[in-house]
Amino acid sequence: MSTAIVWLRSALRVHDNPLLDWAHRSEETDSVIPVFVLDTGRGMGEKGHIGPNRMRFLYDSLTDLDDRLRREYSARLLVLEGRPEEAIPLLAEELGSTGWLLCDYQADPRSREQIGEIKASVSQMGVRTKVFPSVSTILDVEVAIARPGFRDPKSSSDIGAIMGRNLGEGPDGYLVPPPLDPAAEVKFETEEYDSLRGSESLSGLVVTRGEISRRVNDLDTGEPYFPGGEGEALDRLRRKVSDRPDFVNGFRKPATMSTNEAGNPLEPSTTGLSPYLSTGCLSVRKVWEECQKANLGTDHTKPPQSLIGQLMFREMFYVLSRSVENWDDDVGNSNCKPIEWGGHDGELVSAWERGMTGYPYIDAMMRQLEATGWMHHLGRHAVSCFLTRGQLWQNWKHGRDVFDRKLVDSDWAVNNGNWLWLAGVAPFSMPYYRVYNPCPDSKSSLNVEAKEASFIRHWVPELASFPSKYIFEPHLAPEHVQEDAGCVIGTDYPSPIVDRKESRRVNLGLFKESLARIA
């Protein structure tokens, strides 16, 4: 019997799943084992370094996928824990028959090295490996960067040209392939699955549904605002996009509120779909298709500000993450100016991460991140700028690592791209001297709700009774105002850890000097 190991690396869904579709249609496979590996080398699992919200989201997504496989196909998801380089060959050996290893393409160097090593190992057992491109992206990244004339994109128009060359264009835009329907069948053998779960060689690797439930309880995150899974992804897509064509057609990302929806400090003013895209619970082609349906035959915003434009930027970062060596570093990276940042200051970085800087807007955003694993893109702009060129003069990689641990939409390509951009070091960055004011008002480009300031009051409850006039800079409030509000700055809430104006002046000078030395 020929069994296909369907290793779902970042495709935790049934809809638009080329791996399951191929396995169903192929006459070379008799059965399928859907597998996910909690990669301990990447900090996944019970003892990993990934934050509780991000880990909870992943566990939710695995449980949802297993439920869907059971309900729709009478199949099961096999969850293993360990290093895939060891776990996948052990699984192939245990199956003891020639077959296939199917997996989705991932662009980061570690994943590419990993699949190369695994392919070499399982081929000795007669197992053939097939890596499916364009599962997490619209473009086939390898084909796009190998095309003659390719140059690293630096703008929306650049990535638009790349998409045009690779996909073609019609009257309604790029010819993005439609998402696949769910496979009609999954060739699943219960006896084979049970045998694997009970095998001695896999005994230390198998993670059961009961074990996942126990781990979720141990994370103690409470009820998450962003529950993981394909079911939630498709429901959110319907609620935020498909059922709101006027919202889609008028969407301008820079105009969305960083302090979330009015009256709800938890609900994004954007779609909130990024966590589901990053884990593969939702197909990017599915989102593109729904946006195009809304746009068809109507006036609508255009890239880069539109929702389609945001998906294009996502493609741009995926392409760059493959074409640019050392994408995740500040050394040997052609897309990173070698700015001489200050030495790592643990106290400053810790205050920033914990939301204890004395700047309520910054602190509210960082506390939201800690509590929910999410933050509006303008909030990310502000806290990134504050940590790097704005106020604290710390290397962008310190912030990148915090985001990587905590964001439920953590994505290697996009997270590094955004930090390069916001630190002011990339070719596509805004001018370095454009620094966000960490004490915004209602006219700020950060788009804050300042009259009621409910976002600040929710996430920084120490300031709940502060008058809005002073709530973004509470250290400037007269002493009697602080006492009346029940929050004395320096005692009940920290004083500013730096002088925002002086630090900005000094840091811009340092940035300019560093650029001069590079030249």
Q: Where are the domains of the chain?
A: 1-133, 136-178+230-323, 346-518
- Quote the Cα angle for 204-208-46, to 5°: 65
pLDDT at 86: 97
Where does 346-518 sit in CATH, by number?
1.10.579.10
Please write the tens of the pLDDT for every residue from 339-374.
Answer: 999 999 999 999 999 999 999 999 999 999 999 999
Taking the C-alpha atoms of residue 139 and residue 413, their distance in angstroms, rounded to an integer, is: 14
pLDDT at 228: 98
Q: What's the pTM value of the predicted model, to 2 decimals?
A: 0.97
Taking the C-alpha atoms of residue 307 and residue 266, their distance in angstroms, rounded to an integer, is: 21
Q: State yes or no: pLDDT of 98 exceeds 90.
A: no
What is the Rg, in whole angstroms, of the alpha carbon atoms belonging to the chain? 24
Domain 1-133 shares a fold with domain 136-178+230-323: no
Taking the C-alpha atoms of residue 99 and residue 88, their distance in angstroms, rounded to an integer, is: 13
**Taking a C-beta distance cutoff of 8 angstroms, is the pair 355, 370 a contact?**
yes
Q: Residue 40 carries which DSSP code?
A: G
**Taking a C-beta distance cutoff of 8 angstroms, is the pair 7, 88 a contact?**
yes
Give CA torsion, residues 146, 151, 154, 156, to 10 deg: -70
**Taking a C-beta distance cutoff of 8 angstroms, is the pair 146, 322 a contact?**
no
What's the token pair of residue 495? 């004083």
**Taking a C-beta distance cutoff of 8 angstroms, is the pair 406, 51 a contact?**
yes
Categorize the per-residue pLDDT at 47 as very low, low, confident or very high, splitting at 50, 70 and 90: confident
DSSP string computed for 243-309: T-HHHHHT--GGGS-TT-STT-TTS-SS---HHHHHTTSS-HHHHHHHHHHHHTTS----TTTSHHH
Please write the tens of the pLDDT for every residue from 260-313.
Answer: 998 898 999 999 999 999 999 999 999 999 999 999 999 999 999 999 999 999
Pairing of strands 169-170, 173-174: antiparallel
pLDDT at 272: 98
- If DSSP codes are grouped into helix, strand and coil, which group holds residue 206? strand
Distances in Å between the Cα of 275 and the Cα atoms of 54, 184, 229 are: 9, 27, 10
Quote the percentage of the chain above a pLDDT of 70.
100
What's the token pair of residue 258? 């960083």
Categorize the per-residue pLDDT at 463 as very low, low, confident or very high, splitting at 50, 70 and 90: very high
State the number of CA atoms in the 13 A half-sphere of 100 facing the CB. 22
| Amino acid letter, residue 52 | P
Pairing of strands 99-104, 127-132: parallel
CATH number belonging to the domain at 1-133, selected among 3.40.50.620, 3.40.30.10, 3.40.50.1580, 3.40.50.1400: 3.40.50.620
Q: State yes or no: pLDDT of 142 exceeds 90.
A: yes
Q: Residue 39 carries which DSSP code?
A: E
Where does 136-178+230-323 sit in CATH, by number?
1.25.40.80
Taking the C-alpha atoms of residue 471 and residue 456, their distance in angstroms, rounded to an integer, is: 8
| Amino acid letter, residue 419 | W
What's the token pair of residue 180? 């696949």
Distances in Å between the Cα of 150 and the Cα atoms of 145, 163, 413, 488 are: 6, 11, 19, 58
The predicted model gives 410-432 an average pLDDT of 97
- Tabulate helix, strand, coil % of the chain (nearest 5): 50, 5, 45
pLDDT at 500: 98
Length of the chain: 519
Q: State yes or no: pLDDT of 97 exceeds 80.
A: no
Secondary structure E strands in 127-215: 127-132, 169-170, 173-174
Pairing of strands 127-132, 169-170: unpaired
